[in-house]
Structure 1
Amino acid sequence: MPALKGRFLLLWLVLLAGPARAQLVLRGRVLDAETHQPIPNAQVGVADNRIGTSTNDDGRFALSIPPAYARERLTVALLGYRSYSRPLPPLPGPELLIELKISPAALGEVQVTGSVLGIVREAVARIPRNYPTRPTQLTGFYRESDNDLAGQPRYLAEGLLLAFKEPYQRRTAEGEVQIKQSRKVDLRPDRQPIRIDWAGGPFIVHMGDFVHRRSQFIDPAHFKDYDYRLAPGTTFQDRPVYVITFAPKAGNRRADFEGRMYIDQDSYAFLGAEWHYTPAGLNNSPHAADSRSLRVAYQFYAGRWHLKTVWWQTKLKLPIGPPLNYFGEFLTTAIDTAQTPRPGYIERAQYNDVFLRNAVAYDSAFWQGHTTLLPPTALQKSLFDQQRQQQTDSLFKPAEAGTAPQQKQLSGFDRFLKRFSYGSHAGAWPLAVPAAGLMVAYAPAGYGLQMQRTAQVSAQDLTIITQFEYQYALTPALALSLGTQRLYRQFKGDGWEAGLSYEHNFNPRHRPLYGRAGLGYIRQTVGLPLGSFDNPDAGLRVNGTHLGADELSARVQTVSDALRPSLGLGLELSHKFELVADASYLVPLRSKTQLQLDEESGFFLFRSSATVDLPAADVDLRVNDQPTTRLPWQQQYWLLSIGLRYRVR
């Protein structure tokens, strides 16, 4: 037994020591050459940015260097500084100290705004000449986090992305993104008063590309909203540039941004920009924020300028819970200008997918070929604990081949919630409605009420119905459904439906196209309002219900029960939304005609209603002056509807 314990302890120590085995890791710190202060967010790249990272708040970085890149060059760049470049030192080695020098001024400030706007106009006109005119694919490293007030990440998510870009002649902020690899660590409590997972983060590779989307400050339609000035000039990526500041004109509330852009003096290409949202821009944004800032740079490759980096920060104070400080960045590591096929629907990320909810467990060796972070102490401990737990699990319970990585277990309530979906539908309720005159008289025995109302029924070909439906998935294909519905136009009425629905995906490798089938039990009221009238008898009782209000209203209605088998199609618009269309057939079970009386005065929470089933001795119903017990409209059988469904998952 002691020998067994000794072997186990040795194995445990080997496992713990695994992440610390020797690696070709380049460590460095980037400082301002004049102030000797650390420079955060500087872009660090090796081998023409095929691998890279950025500096943390202390100016430090760590980059795992594959042996094949050991003889490549290291570059460090940041807007406003001269680029730093040198061959990689022998590795492993001591921390490398890098000092960046501010680019020297080349131009004095110019106050003539007309000529400055001419530079911007020329740069916009030359976009088709300076940027890709054919589809391209960027490979890049993405990172996002939500930091607390001390700058410590509450979560950290990273990924290797493929971003498909349309030609730049077409103005767009959209594009496909494919997450090739990912990892995450989540330090947040399971339950917070408000828990926000940022959506759309990986799409900053498209949303932050201000040249491709023709952001407002380079949009000719908005030139009238901005003041453009030529600031003290500098170099960018060792090229002489025009540094142009932009800000809203005095009193203008249509300008959403303020910042500066860098335009190459020779080619008039936009090489980069940094800007923040104005108060008007924050108000116009669909997403709430107290501040939002961006920094974007481009790089030259194969005769064109391509997106190099996007940096994005958003801050928001919430009424409940900690303030949010979202940070995201994208760094291009490879550019493919060949006619690469666009990623299929299944492979593409959706904007509403939350990157943090990927199913990949943390692995310290995950980025050996890309980057190694320098996280805070608390984050390092959490990562170490996670990895140690994974190693323990693999020691005592080996995973089967092909088993997906372990992910954080959902609570029972979360698993229950993820089975829900809901949606709204609109359709044509099948009614045959001829024109007719209607008269209803009601004189209950023993009371002073004598009501007589007339109405003209108009011929109607289309009766509109809306439905709100909840579904709970029993299996991936079979779900329970419960819905409520309401009629509009000449007739009024409410109803409900309960049943089962089934979906089958006809297109599993591309955008899902579902075949839908369902069976429901439905009850629907179709009523014609007859208006309101005074009630002379405060003691009035109708079928045992006291109606003592001073004012009553009346309507005649049919209440029908039916089975509703249906067939339809559903097209997935995104992983959250599905467009559905159904055709149904109503199989009637029973129907009754009623006179309904409602209280119209008094406190609304205590108003009562009562119904009288027809025929009744104290109710006289006439259609076109002929006594009858049937209302003039007739229920038909075919029901068509179209709607939108939202999945909570």
Structure 2
Amino acid sequence: MLFLKMGPALAQGPILLRGRVVDAETHQPIPNAQVGVADNRIGTSTNEDGRFALSIPPALLGEQLEVALLGYRKYARALPPLPGPELRIELKIAPAALGEVQVTGSVLGIVREAVARIPRNYPTRPTQLTGFYRESDNDPAGQPRYLAEGLVLAFKESYLRRTADGEIQIKQSRKVDLRRDRTPIRIDWAGGPFIAHMGDFVHRRSEFIDAAHFKDYDYRLAPGSTFQDRAVYVITFGPKAGNRRAAFEGRMYIEQDSYAFLGAEWHYTPAGLRRGARDVADSRSLRVAYQPYAGRWHLKTVWWQTEAKLPVGPPLKFFGEFLTTAIDTAQTARPGYLERAQLYDVFLRNKVVYDSAFWQGHTTLLPAAALQKSLFDQQRQQQANSLFKPAEAGTHPQEKKPSAFDRFLRRFSYGTHAGAWPLAVPAAGLAVAYAPAGYGLQVQRAASVRAQDLTLFTQFEYEYALTRELAARLATQRLHRQFGGDGWEAGLSYQHNFTPRHRPFYGRAGLGYIRQTVDLPLGRFDNPDAGLRVAGTHLGADELSARLQTVIDALRPSLGLGLELSHRFELVADASYLVPLRSKTQLQLDEESGFFLFRSSATVDLPRADVDLRVNDQPTTRLPWQQQHWLLSIGLRYRVR
């Protein structure tokens, strides 16, 4: 009775359609063919073996199945009864319709017209694509070192606006290390699933379809073909003879009737690699295709490959691909901040053991047979290992517990600040004379102080989170403009998120103990006495320098605000009040010659009998600048994890 009751419920779920697409004449598998149902509302693509798997909702069982690929006639039939055996689909070649044309001007006119018609051919309102993403890094033999996969939602802005940006949500994901007899691999690829936006050459108006760069490219018409029974222009593009600015070379496909871009494939030129490949790649290639749905063309697939020789480790052969499996053209709400992946976040940290049923219920891109074999072999090895070494309670068999250092890094952040240091400085003339008893040194230096209302400072800080909101803080700071001086601060900071369901906006409070030196250089002079000792410190260098300084100890309570720019970066602004505890005036002498690691410094506290200090020709024991109380700063914080 239980199974009888479960039967209707199970029948409501998606039904899997499996198929294989081959060439009608050669019977060889056809990869990258587009497979769609219900006018491409849902779909997938064939893998390297020509196979596909499509999850069909019950509401679409009466719809038509379509298979299309550039250069072949479109296959269109009603869906077969499901469930059923693997469907075999044979595509017939469509004859080329156009010959070689060498009139470059008219070919460029086709490209210009296609760009002008983007508002007619592509979505003019936000669209959400459900997609499947996969990436891997292959060894020199072509075997993948790891596999990362994800089910993602890609939010697309209107194509009326030129952009390479967009939101990505990762709904489900896994990462599998496929290396044998090695320590677990560390994968820190950033922005992987964002190729759904970065590879969309129509949305971003890539250089080879940008009017500002047409002068750098040579466009030619190649023998034509068809796509989904539509005649297309096949246009090759590349740098003009002698041009070293063009970044790309390849070909694009434009429908003859609508002038819609149906796809393109291209690689980076040496100039493009120098300008655009941040990871110093040796080669980079892309292939992008679009599909029709509801009267517009939408992104279907992005294929991305990068090869590079790294300074450390084996050569890199990175491969990533994105496949649209469903399209939503309704008024899609932009995903909230907390749901969006960040471009510079590591794509996948999770480690999930391979399971052939992992993507059950979702349409994905089937892995090639060689990759499936690697996954299956690893699964068997893991099962064998689990017989001898059971997994620890609460952890995944492939997941390694984070080390103490990793746990420390997750609590660690650092940042840099700039601001105004509160120092009141009137214009004044300074003169100092110092003749230590028993030595031949006589220091007589003079300097002019300019009136100054604003003294700048920079600060570098480290924070370690004690709790979610409370952190220990250590910082160093330096003054700039006519005054110099280094300082440090130690204390606690508190941060509370006012918007836990949206982009974090923080209220900040802190209390620190600060010591800061404010000094005025007085220049360099020769040291006549190699045995000179000042305040118990030997200063035997041939050349010395002098400076007058104040050393301030204070408490620093602060209040401020913080705005998270990404999951790792935060913009902060603080207002602080200095509560002075003590202050002293000093004359400092520094060695300026000899090996810099062994140079010494000595300070003489003022007032002192052998030091004559004058301000505007009047004897004094105080320097003219005065420490004020209010301090303002703005900065950027970075979280390691």
| Partner Cα separation in structure 2 for residue 465 and residue 246 of structure 1 | 52
| Partner Cα separation in structure 2 for residue 102 and residue 612 of structure 1 | 92
| Partner Cα separation in structure 1 for residue 388 and residue 17 of structure 2 | 30
Residue 97 of structure 1: how far off its partner (Å) = 4.9
Question: 2:70·2:225 contact (CA, 8 Å) conserved in 1?
Answer: no
Question: 2:490·2:514 contact (CA, 8 Å) conserved in 1?
Answer: yes
How is 1:558-573 mapped onto 2 (pairs within 5 angstroms)?
Answer: 558-573=550-565
Tell me the alpha carbon deviations over residues 169-227 of structure 1, each in whole angstroms, 9 at most, x when there is no partner. 11111111222233332335898799442111111111111111110000000000100
| Partner Cα separation in structure 2 for residue 195 and residue 388 of structure 1 | 24
Residue 383 of structure 1: how far off its partner (Å) = 4.1
Tell me the alpha carbon deviations over residues 489-543 of structure 1, each in whole angstroms, 9 at most, x when there is no partner. 0100111111111111000111100111111111111000001111111111111
Tell me the alpha carbon deviations over residues 382-409 of structure 1, each in whole angstroms, 9 at most, x when there is no partner. 3466689999999997x9xxx9999653
1:119 aligns with 2:110: yes
From the superposition, tell whether residues 77 and 328 of structure 1 become closer, same or farther in structure 2 (CA, over 3 Å). farther
Give the letter aligned to residue 598 of structure 2: F
| Partner Cα separation in structure 2 for residue 498 and residue 624 of structure 1 | 37
| Partner Cα separation in structure 1 for residue 326 and residue 301 of structure 2 | 12
| Partner Cα separation in structure 2 for residue 552 and residue 33 of structure 1 | 89
1:148 aligns with 2:124: no
Q: 1:162 aligns with which of 129, 153, 159?
A: 153
Unmatched 5+ residue regions in structure 2?
1-13
Structure 1 counterpart of 2:266? 275
Give the letter aligned to residue 382 of structure 1: Q
Is the partner of 2:286 in helix, strand or coil? strand
Q: What TM-score do you get using the length of structure 1 for normalisation?
A: 0.89
Structure 2 counterpart of 1:9? none
1:469 aligns with 2:465: no
How is 1:370-381 mapped onto 2 (pairs within 5 angstroms)?
Answer: 370-371=363-364, 373=367, 375-381=371-377
| Partner Cα separation in structure 1 for residue 48 and residue 142 of structure 2 | 8
Question: 1:105·1:233 contact (CA, 8 Å) conserved in 2?
Answer: yes
Give the letter aligned to residue 120 of structure 1: V
From the superposition, tell whether residues 55 and 441 of structure 1 become closer, same or farther in structure 2 (CA, over 3 Å). same
Q: 2:174 aligns with which of 183, 187, 190?
A: 183
Q: 1:507 aligns with which of 499, 512, 529?
A: 499
Give the letter aligned to residue 185 of structure 1: V
| Partner Cα separation in structure 1 for residue 204 and residue 501 of structure 2 | 30
Give the letter aligned to residue 122 of structure 1: E
Structure 2 counterpart of 1:416? 408
Unmatched 5+ residue regions in structure 1?
1-22
From the superposition, tell whether residues 91 and 134 of structure 1 become closer, same or farther in structure 2 (CA, over 3 Å). closer
Residue 381 of structure 1: how far off its partner (Å) = 3.3
| Partner Cα separation in structure 1 for residue 448 and residue 184 of structure 2 | 56
| Partner Cα separation in structure 2 for residue 341 and residue 155 of structure 1 | 34
Structure 1 counterpart of 2:232? 241
Is the partner of 1:138 in helix, strand or coil? strand
| Partner Cα separation in structure 1 for residue 490 and residue 568 of structure 2 | 23
Is the partner of 2:348 in helix, strand or coil? helix
| Partner Cα separation in structure 2 for residue 445 and residue 639 of structure 1 | 42
From the superposition, tell whether residues 57 and 358 of structure 1 become closer, same or farther in structure 2 (CA, over 3 Å). same
1:603 aligns with 2:603: no
| Partner Cα separation in structure 1 for residue 628 and residue 319 of structure 2 | 58
Residue 65 of structure 1: how far off its partner (Å) = 5.5
From the superposition, tell whether residues 193 and 640 of structure 1 become closer, same or farther in structure 2 (CA, over 3 Å). farther
How is 1:215-364 mapped onto 2 (pairs within 5 angstroms)?
Answer: 215-288=206-279, 289-358=281-350, 364=356
> Mean alpha-carbon deviation: is it higher for 148-157 or for 107-116?
148-157
Is the partner of 2:613 in helix, strand or coil? strand
Cα RMSD, aligned residues only: 3.1
How is 1:533-544 mapped onto 2 (pairs within 5 angstroms)?
Answer: 533-544=525-536
> Mean alpha-carbon deviation: is it higher for 80-89 or for 346-355?
80-89
Q: What TM-score do you get using the length of structure 2 for normalisation?
A: 0.90
Residue 336 of structure 1: how far off its partner (Å) = 2.0
Q: 2:126 aligns with which of 135, 138, 141?
A: 135
Give the letter aligned to residue 486 of structure 2: D
| Partner Cα separation in structure 2 for residue 460 and residue 332 of structure 1 | 62
| Partner Cα separation in structure 2 for residue 342 and residue 605 of structure 1 | 57
Residue 85 of structure 1: how far off its partner (Å) = 4.2
From the superposition, tell whether residues 342 and 190 of structure 1 become closer, same or farther in structure 2 (CA, over 3 Å). farther
Is the partner of 1:376 in helix, strand or coil? helix
Give the letter aligned to residue 273 of structure 2: L
Tell me the alpha carbon deviations over residues 415-453 of structure 1, each in whole angstroms, 9 at most, x when there is no partner. 211211111000101101111110011111111111100
Structure 2 counterpart of 1:8? none
Residue 25 of structure 1: how far off its partner (Å) = 5.4
Structure 2 counterpart of 1:109? 100
Q: What number of residue pairs does the alignment pair up?
A: 623
Give the letter aligned to residue 642 of structure 1: I
Question: 1:142·1:161 contact (CA, 8 Å) conserved in 2?
Answer: yes
Question: 1:518·1:567 contact (CA, 8 Å) conserved in 2?
Answer: yes
Structure 1 counterpart of 2:632? 640
| Partner Cα separation in structure 2 for residue 559 and residue 497 of structure 1 | 13
How is 1:59-74 mapped onto 2 (pairs within 5 angstroms)?
Answer: 59-63=50-54, 73-74=64-65
Question: 1:193·1:321 contact (CA, 8 Å) conserved in 2?
Answer: no
Identity of aligned residues (%): 83
Structure 2 counterpart of 1:531? 523
| Partner Cα separation in structure 2 for residue 478 and residue 405 of structure 1 | 34
Structure 2 counterpart of 1:581? 573
Tell me the alpha carbon deviations over residues 584-636 of structure 1, each in whole angstroms, 9 at most, x when there is no partner. 11111111111111111122222211111111222111111111111111111
Is the partner of 2:161 in helix, strand or coil? coil
| Partner Cα separation in structure 1 for residue 74 and residue 401 of structure 2 | 46
> Mean alpha-carbon deviation: is it higher for 435-444 or for 187-196?
187-196
Question: 1:137·1:165 contact (CA, 8 Å) conserved in 2?
Answer: yes
Is the partner of 1:414 in helix, strand or coil? helix
Question: 1:274·1:294 contact (CA, 8 Å) conserved in 2?
Answer: yes
Give the letter aligned to residue 316 of structure 1: A
| Partner Cα separation in structure 1 for residue 185 and residue 172 of structure 2 | 29
Is the partner of 1:140 in helix, strand or coil? strand
